[in-house]
Structure 1
Amino acid sequence: MTSPGDATPVKPPPSFSPGVPRVASKTRYPNQRRDSTTSIDSDRVEPRLGPSPTPPLSNTHSDLPIRAASPHGRSGRSSTPQIGRRSLGSPLDGRADAALDTRSLIVRSFSPVIGVYASADTDELVRQKGFKDGFCELIRPFGENVPGKLVIRDSVGSSRGWEDYGIRFVDLEESSRAPNDPNLERNPPLPQIEAVLEKQLDLADSLPGGPLHTKDPLGLSTTSPLYKLYLRQLLSIATASPHETFRHPVASVIATSSRNPAPLESLRQLYADTNNGNRKVPAWIHPEYLRYYVLVHDEDRDDISESTKLYDQMKRHFGLHCHLLRLRSNQCVVTDDDSVQVPECEWLSPSERLAGRAEPLVDLDSDGLLYLFESDVMAIKSFIRELVAQSVIPFMENKVAVWNDRVASRRRGISGRFMSMSRKWAGFGSGSRPSLTGSGGGASGNYNVAHGYYDYDNDEALLRRMADYAFMLRDWKLSSSTYELLRSDYANDKAWKHHAGAYEMCAVSTLLNPVGLGTKTKLENIDQMLETACYSYLTRCSDGPNSLRCLTLAVELLRSRGGSAAESAAKWAMRAMDLGLVEPIGQGLLSERVSACYASRPPVNGVRWGSRRRKAGMWSLLAADMWLRLGKPALASACLEEAERLYADVLGSDGNFPMPEMQTLVENLRLSVKVGYLEARGLDIKEETGSTDPLDNEETSEKLDRRTNRRSLIMNPLDTGGLSLPTVQAGRDADNQGNDDFERA
């Protein structure tokens, strides 16, 4: 087994949740190798005051950022009624850059997956502590944010420390399911995401003070909690699939307990199950993943000296990838002095959230949550850090180096390019064995057309796994070049889902790479890759969830680049709505996102020309109309106020629009927001507004009578009200051309 690389001094990140003590890791120096004795000290330390290169994300609800806003400051006082506003924390909580926050969220969504396979006695020990799903449920929340800084080496040997690294613990049985699971067909993921958002909005409506769409008092660009929930849910729906290896197990934790009468035999049997038994992975998953053996010691009932002897025997039989985890078997309650609340899982799938209670976006009562003893929390965090820093990361680094040297370098050379051209045009070099289908299986002869995958030991599968490993190790330059190498191979084999995935992740890797993408030509290349990926996903594979994931990742990463890339991000958000990939709540959130993309483009040379504030205001009005249709007047009020602020440059001294039609539209929206709020609270309109209110006006009453028949301002992508999609797109193109002509003038 390979040993980990060099490391740097470790500083502790913020703790997971209130009540969890802050821990410090032992200091390691660049010329010092990691060893099996490295662990986490239990001494409490003060939090670090200086900013970190990549700010770690907290799992507490009080640290959630607030609503997206333009980078420009708010001017003037809005005339929109402030309905149900409440703060989610101190104004200083919004100082973190939203682009880095969203970028970190995307990067952490592609984390290494660790399978968990525990013996029956281990699961029974954990169930006594209150975790009904056993050992996997116990350690799963703690793996989403590994304590301390992790140092990772890239393909050229340079090292970089990351403080927001995490892993995903899953039941190993989930990785053994077929990609066409009938359960996924009965419960499509996109409607489930909409149900999660609706459930969350209903929970927010029941809170005193109303929903949680708040403005930013500092005028900073932040992300709304509801949109962050939507993005997390979209990135959590992926399951193990042949076309990408992000959900394939990188390692597996094989656990037994000190209660077992024959622990070593139990570990051998568990390993046999993962190798040839009922936990064996399918043919499209590489079976040579890392096995990590854990002995769970019962602190309340078993002798530690006997467990230590047994642990020494484990290391002699199974190697150094072993750990002794000391836990108490008694259940912890909140009244205990050393009780620590278990953090909630951030990466729960939509089906898991619908089965349980919804995650509150604000800090609510903690009833119903599980608690652990402080010693158990420290032991689990030490175990996870040792697993990741000393086993998983070195294992992935070694595999990337081996595959890059043996497979990728050969394919990048002259002989590899010649063989690729031969396979495409002449059919030579078709692989070491015939196709599994007997019908050619594509140009390479390695693609199984009947089942839609490559065997795990084929070059195409190894290169895709290498690219995904490099992406999870955050070596985006290597991953981008490897995805680019694979695109033509998948196209020659007509492996369209693999083809779409390679184009998608090539674009994502290029956008995540901090170097480059400064010219218009490179931005056009990104657009072409996204266009190809979306077409292959949707038209050739009928895969709506992956199409929406591709477009949403493009929106967020292009927006973080700023400038013309932010305007391109707005285009892809509109494309997702035009294709009908999002449900009504998602349309409201994406409409707000389009507004934020246009608002983030600064004017040229400090003048007003080149900015897109009017477009941003228009999309904010469309978002307000969408929230009104969904019966969310408080969210509509926030969007309407944002639109008025964006339109401040074109308003007259009296605050009115120069165009009478626009002024009428905004007044109707204000009126609808006010009436919708009163109706949602079950209040009588005339009693609440008084006799002098404009609602008593005869003309306004007539407007209210026609309000239910009011035509929506934003059109459904599937029902464009008599206008074809090319007509709608032509109108947008004309609007863009008009802005460009104005800039040239």
Structure 2
Amino acid sequence: MTSPGDAAPVKPPPSFSPGVARASSTSRYSTHASQRRDSVQSLDSNHVDQSVGPSPPPLSATTELPIRSASPYARSLRSSTPQLNRSSLGSPDGGRFEGAEDVRSLITRSFSPVVGVYASVDTDDLVHEKGFPGGFWGLIRPFGENVPGKIVIRDSVGSSRGWEDYGVRFVDLGGQARYPPDATPGQPPPLTQIDEALTKDLEAAENPLARTLRPKDLAGASTISPLYNDFLHQLLSIPSATPHETFRHPVASVIAISSRNTSPLETLRQLYADTTNGDRRLPEWIHPEYLRYYVLVHDEDRDDIAESTKLYDQMKRHFGLHCHLLRLRSNQCVVTDDDSVEVPECEWVSPAERLSGSAEPLVDLDMDGHLYLFESDVMAIKAFVRELVAQSVIPFMENRVAVWNDQVASRRRGISGRFMSMSRRWAGFGSSSRSSLTGSAGGVSGNYDGARGFYRPDAPEAVLRKMADFAFMLRDWKLAASTYELIRSDYANDKAWKYHAGVHEMCAISLLLNPVSMPAKTKLGDIDQMLDTACYSYHTRCSDVPNALRCLTLAVELLKSRGGLATESAARWAMRAMDLGLVGSIGQVLLSERISACYASRPPLPGVRWGARYRKAGMWSVLAADLWLQLGQPSLASACLEEAEHLYASVLDRNEGIFPMPEMQVFVDNLRHTIQVEFLEARGLNTQESLDAVPPMDTQETSEKLDKRQHRRSLVVNPLESGIQDLADNEDRPDDDFERA
């Protein structure tokens, strides 16, 4: 047994190989009873210099990374593109995204590096005393989504750029459930969970969406509705740790012990062994050699800081410089304390967590239903997260990308690499001896295991995919796109269809995220081809509906942010998602609104009346209103209908609500009448006595609409369907000819 006070050096165990180194989210629209306290000031980044290398053993000269500056602010920033600002420092759920940069920031933040957390029992017990049921992982999870200060990242050509909205995702490696989470028998699929969560939000009594929204807030060309924002967050929060992409594979892991531990060094070894070849070992398609970061949690209220400092120095001598001393108070903080700070909400909460209620905090009368920390604890956790990301995780990823680019990717790009690839494809030269064992299921190269559906982590195809994903998470989209392009043919040759779909999807997203490469009309055709290939492979060959929907949804938002011809392409991909049945009833309405927003963002050409798509936008807004009416949401239907009238009025130069064709006018009048009746029923008023205030309908649908039934009937399926059909038949006519129809 080794005590913290031992000064004798302790050798690491033989198993240590050097290798290669929402607390509450029930409703995103609910308002708190009390105002959120002032945020803690940004932290200074004056940390000690640290070199990056393998974790437990002593750092060797062959694997040691170059030492970075103590403060990333000291390095010069050279950037030819504007920075992507985050809409809020906390969770953006309370706000509304107003521009394309916020949508791009949302997408890039969804592909953040994953950091595993494995804490000892004594550490979790200390955190439980502070009132956090999730243990050490639940304590630091909300603070990783937004790293304080500016994070400076070097790209593949050596230039640096600072990011204000960088973050990481902490995942639990030591909880009861395994990571990646296994499919629970009887659990609905992820997209069904998303639809159920959205339905739960709509049915909430305190939901502000139940009130009438202004049309520009719901389906405007430059805004995102709160419900669609929630849909995007849930879609991008699905726990999708799969072999074909490494975005959800841990880049590093935090191994934590507390000052209460009686045998700290042995506990650290045991925790490391558990994640390497023990019970907490990750699946074989995840590379086990990731960065280890060791944390000593000191109890400020009960333990001696001198003893903890001595133990911390021992940890740095034996396990390297990837260590941190985190000083926390073990007493529970309540709102009545002078220095209490409310814990921020988790932004990335999976649909399963929202439905199960595990993301909600424990309700305490003294805490007003929310969790609080002492201000000193908040400052200490933010300093820990910043040091972890800025001085360990980012340099580790930069080094791995540089090594893989030099040792693997450069050879594949050279003449010899291309020759060997062609030889392996057409003549079978250079293939591994395992190809004779795997047979036709193993692919031509022999590296793909068709029976189990993945490449080994050390195979060149897997290394290149990991390198491209690392470059994407470091926001070096040019290198990421070129690497995805490099391995597309290999996956097609091996018939690894999910890998094939993934690289096409991410190659298109990388090109669209790169602000330097503004795709022209010809390049948009190439991007459409990539998206079509990815969607076909995901949906038809692999039956992977969540990834197919993610691919099309991200394409819609990124193409819409480009403007011009790309907005029409975005609308077509949203229609594809609806045609394939990838979304539920609420998703159909939300995509209809986004199609309307895509067309509405296409203004007419300067000086002329033609070139706009306001009539198409109005038609899809009318369809969205009818779909909202089917779901029993008259307020949202009214907002969509008002937006449609406004769009048509901008084309016809007439008052809103006036349409040139009689069939269209009858249909819209009946739709407006039905919405008014639904409002009366929702307010519990006597419908028959209030009909005097409602204009009469021109059809025999009045009596049917007055029935209080559970499932509303769509106006599109009645004889007035010709009104919508006329809209569809005339949507391709120029706007200046529409008035003469």
The CA deviation string for residues 423-464 of structure 1, in whole angstroms up to 9 with x for no partner, is 211111113654663556101100011100000000000000
Alignment match, 2:684: 682
1:660 aligns with 2:662: yes
CA contact (8 A) 2:293 2:322 kept: yes
CA contact (8 A) 1:624 1:640 kept: yes
- Matches of 2:152 and 2:686, distance apart in 1: 62
- Matches of 1:502 and 1:210, distance apart in 2: 41
Q: 1:656 to 1:476 in 2, by over 3 A?
A: same
Report matched runs for 1:142-291 at 5 Å. Answer: 142-172=143-173, 181-183=182-184, 186-203=187-204, 205-207=205-207, 210-211=210-211, 213-216=213-216, 221-291=222-292
Q: 1:704 to 1:277 in 2, by over 3 A?
A: closer
- Matches of 1:109 and 1:661, distance apart in 2: 46
Q: 1:20 aligns with which of 39, 43, 51?
A: 39
Q: 1:160 to 1:613 in 2, by over 3 A?
A: same
Amino acid paired to 1:522: K
Structure 1 residue 273 displacement after superposition: 1.1
CA contact (8 A) 1:57 1:164 kept: no
CA contact (8 A) 1:299 1:329 kept: yes
Q: 1:17 to 1:169 in 2, by over 3 A?
A: farther
Report matched runs for 1:87-102 at 5 Å. Answer: 97-102=98-103
- Matches of 1:392 and 1:249, distance apart in 2: 11
Q: 1:214 to 1:18 in 2, by over 3 A?
A: farther
CA contact (8 A) 2:646 2:656 kept: no
CA contact (8 A) 2:441 2:451 kept: no
- Matches of 1:62 and 1:463, distance apart in 2: 34
- Matches of 1:436 and 1:195, distance apart in 2: 46
Structure 1 residue 64 displacement after superposition: 3.5
CA contact (8 A) 1:435 1:448 kept: no
Alignment match, 1:618: 619
Alignment match, 1:552: 553
Structure 1 residue 212 displacement after superposition: 6.8
Does 56-65 or 643-652 show the bigger shift?
56-65
CA contact (8 A) 1:25 1:39 kept: no
Alignment match, 2:569: 568
Amino acid paired to 1:680: A
Alignment match, 1:107: 108
Q: 1:714 to 1:20 in 2, by over 3 A?
A: farther
**Structure 2 segments unaligned to the other structure (5+ residues):** 1-17, 22-34, 52-65, 74-81
TM-align CA RMSD: 3.5
Structure 1 residue 242 displacement after superposition: 0.2
Q: Number of residue pairs matched?
A: 673
- Matches of 1:547 and 1:129, distance apart in 2: 42
Identity of paired residues, percent?
67
Alignment match, 2:294: 293
**Structure 1 segments unaligned to the other structure (5+ residues):** 5-15, 41-51, 67-95, 716-720
Structure 1 residue 185 displacement after superposition: 6.9
Alignment match, 2:357: 356
CA contact (8 A) 2:46 2:71 kept: no
1:527 aligns with 2:546: no
Alignment match, 2:390: 389
CA contact (8 A) 1:176 1:282 kept: no
Alignment match, 1:72: none
Amino acid paired to 2:86: P
Q: 1:351 to 1:653 in 2, by over 3 A?
A: closer
Alignment match, 2:83: 53
1:401 aligns with 2:402: yes
- Matches of 1:489 and 1:593, distance apart in 2: 36
The CA deviation string for residues 334-363 of structure 1, in whole angstroms up to 9 with x for no partner, is 111111111110000000011128999xxx
Structure 1 residue 180 displacement after superposition: 9.5
CA contact (8 A) 2:297 2:328 kept: yes
1:468 aligns with 2:469: yes
- Matches of 1:188 and 1:343, distance apart in 2: 29
Q: 1:431 to 1:171 in 2, by over 3 A?
A: same
Q: 1:687 to 1:698 in 2, by over 3 A?
A: farther
Structure 1 residue 592 displacement after superposition: 0.3
Amino acid paired to 1:671: H
Structure 1 residue 684 displacement after superposition: 1.1
Amino acid paired to 2:305: I
CA contact (8 A) 1:652 1:658 kept: no
CA contact (8 A) 1:39 1:382 kept: no
Q: 1:195 to 1:257 in 2, by over 3 A?
A: same
Structure 1 residue 202 displacement after superposition: 1.4
- Matches of 1:113 and 1:739, distance apart in 2: 50
CA contact (8 A) 1:20 1:341 kept: no
Does 529-538 or 643-652 show the bigger shift?
643-652
CA contact (8 A) 1:512 1:557 kept: yes
- Matches of 1:449 and 1:376, distance apart in 2: 49
The CA deviation string for residues 464-509 of structure 1, in whole angstroms up to 9 with x for no partner, is 0000000000000000010111110000000000000010000000
SS in 2 for 1:254: strand
CA contact (8 A) 1:65 1:222 kept: no
CA contact (8 A) 2:619 2:644 kept: yes
CA contact (8 A) 2:142 2:344 kept: yes
The CA deviation string for residues 600-649 of structure 1, in whole angstroms up to 9 with x for no partner, is 01212332211000000000000000000000001111111110110012
Q: 1:22 to 1:113 in 2, by over 3 A?
A: same
Amino acid paired to 1:544: V
Q: 1:692 to 1:437 in 2, by over 3 A?
A: closer
CA contact (8 A) 2:629 2:712 kept: no
Q: 1:440 to 1:631 in 2, by over 3 A?
A: closer
Report matched runs for 1:126-137 at 5 Å. Answer: 126-137=127-138
- Matches of 1:206 and 1:741, distance apart in 2: 45
The CA deviation string for residues 381-412 of structure 1, in whole angstroms up to 9 with x for no partner, is 00000000000000000000000000000001
Alignment match, 1:577: 578
Q: 1:692 to 1:549 in 2, by over 3 A?
A: closer
Alignment match, 1:92: none
CA contact (8 A) 1:446 1:458 kept: yes
The CA deviation string for residues 224-271 of structure 1, in whole angstroms up to 9 with x for no partner, is 111110001001114210000000000000000000001111111111
- Matches of 2:299 and 2:712, distance apart in 1: 66
Structure 1 residue 516 displacement after superposition: 2.3
Q: 1:705 to 1:281 in 2, by over 3 A?
A: closer
- Matches of 1:584 and 1:547, distance apart in 2: 17
SS in 2 for 1:470: helix
Report matched runs for 1:487-526 at 5 Å. Answer: 487-526=488-527
- Matches of 1:255 and 1:357, distance apart in 2: 23
- Matches of 2:335 and 2:172, distance apart in 1: 28
Q: 1:424 to 1:698 in 2, by over 3 A?
A: closer
Q: 1:211 to 1:201 in 2, by over 3 A?
A: farther
Alignment match, 2:325: 324
Report matched runs for 1:314-463 at 5 Å. Answer: 314-356=315-357, 367-431=368-432, 433-434=434-435, 437-439=438-440, 441-463=442-464
Structure 1 residue 714 displacement after superposition: 6.1
SS in 2 for 1:457: coil
SS in 1 for 2:438: coil
CA contact (8 A) 2:112 2:247 kept: yes
The CA deviation string for residues 161-194 of structure 1, in whole angstroms up to 9 with x for no partner, is 0000010000125899698933277320001000
SS in 1 for 2:647: helix
The CA deviation string for residues 54-98 of structure 1, in whole angstroms up to 9 with x for no partner, is 2223265787444xxxxxxxxxxxxxxxxxxxxxxxxxxxxx742
- Matches of 2:520 and 2:175, distance apart in 1: 43
CA contact (8 A) 1:622 1:713 kept: no
SS in 2 for 1:523: helix
- Matches of 1:389 and 1:201, distance apart in 2: 40
Q: 1:602 to 1:269 in 2, by over 3 A?
A: same
